Amino acid sequence: MSTQIAHVGAPGQPSGAGGGDQGPHVPRLLARRTVLRWGLGAATAGLAFAAGDAFGASGLAARAAAATGSAGARIPPSGPVTTAAARRGAGVAAAARTETGAGAAGAGSAAHELPHPALRYFGPTEDKAVYLTIDDGWFPDPAVLDMVRSEKLPITTFLIAEAATLAPERLAFWKAFARAGGTIENHTLSHPWLTRLPAGEVEAQWERTSVAFRKYFGYRPTLGRPPYGAVDEEVSRAAGNAGLVELVMWSALDAGEGIQTWNGGPLAAGSIVLMHWDPGLTGELRQVLAACERQGLVPRPLPQAAWA
């Protein structure tokens, strides 16, 4: 049984073939280290999860090799973000960030199950905003931290909990990143392929990360990014139970071979850009910032509270 979810999507999205707006075309972006694929879902009041379609893989080459057998979401971008929707998300996000208990709902408690989080591929386009996100955390880069400090660069890191706590100096780096104005959100405990895990393990991946980040950074994340972009109904349900309001995907990436976008065009307002804490990140980030300058785009903070 599929679950209908809220969905926020792409500015300037092309319409389907034929008369009228039949929904988005199905774009496909294939890179050496990253695969993005959208498949057309239900075109009614909501978009349904469906398993069995390769959705996405990101990061190192080993991850891309595993992508051929993925099961993930078939939920394409569709439609601009409305101000009302952004404000509703901001209210929920603010409540979650001030939550002082063990979570908005107990893991696995059907009686208190929270709504599924929305999937987001794009952010609002106001002020030609673009959103910079960096995943994983295995290779902290002091040069990037210096850029966050000196240039007030708004970067959201979807951090793996085990990467953050691998050694005391790692945790010190991420605390410094947060103090400098960087945002840290949930990228699971150990970066597994969530759609291949039992339900209890999926819950633990989200919840244990949120608990750890509250301890180390002072708040529970409200945004999550599933490793490899692999999402199904159970992954979404577990994310909601861990207090995550949105699952943030991406619409552009720089994986060391130049910037690639979901439609093959130039970087555009509303794009959520994916990068990784890998060797070479500083150069990739500079490349993205240069593209922003050419297109007249301005990096803005990603959390929903900034969109209200």
Q: Quick one: pLDDT at residue 237? A: 96
Q: What is the mean pLDDT of residues 224-233?
A: 96
How far is the CA of 11 from the CAs of 29, 53, 71, 289, in angstroms? 18, 24, 27, 21
Residue 152 φ then ψ, to 5°: 50, 45
- HSE-CB at 210 with a 13 A cutoff on CA atoms is 32
At residue 184 the predicted structure's pLDDT band, cuts being 50, 70 and 90, is very high
Q: Are 38 and 76 in contact (CB under 8 A)?
A: yes
Residue 35, phi then psi, degrees to nearest 5: -120, 130
Domains located in the chain, CATH noted: 78-307 (3.20.20.370)
Cα–Cα distance, 180 to 120 (Å, whole number):
26
pLDDT the model gives residue 303: 60
Task: Report phi then psi at 243, rounded to 5.
Answer: 90, 10
Mean pLDDT of the chain: 72
* Per-residue pLDDT tens digits for 124-182: 999 999 999 999 999 999 999 999 999 999 999 999 999 999 899 999 999 999 999 99
Q: What is the per-residue pLDDT across 194-224, written as a single tens digit (0 to 9) for each?
A: 999 999 999 999 999 999 999 999 999 999 9
Nearest to 220 by CA among 102, 105, 113: 102
Print the SS3 string covering 245-274: CEEECCCEEECCCCEEECCCCCCCCCEEEE
Residue 98's pLDDT is what? 38
Pick the more confident residue, 5 or 39. Answer: 5
Q: Flag the least confident range among 8-17, 19-28, 246-255.
A: 19-28
Instruction: Determine the pLDDT at residue 256.
Output: 80
Q: What is the pLDDT of residues 94-128, one digit of tens each?
A: 333 434 333 433 444 444 567 789 999 999 999 99
> Which of 32-36, 163-167, 239-243, 285-289 is predicted with the least confidence, judged by mean pLDDT?
32-36
Distance CA 305, CA 161 (A): 23
CA 263 to chain centre: 18
Instruction: State pLDDT tens for residues 43-76.
Output: 222 222 222 222 233 332 233 223 222 333 322 3
- Given the structure tokens 């960087």, which residue do they identify? 182
Q: Which amino acid is at 128?
A: K
Q: 262, 259, 264: which is closest to 290 by C-alpha?
A: 259
Residue whose tokens read 């001030």 = 98
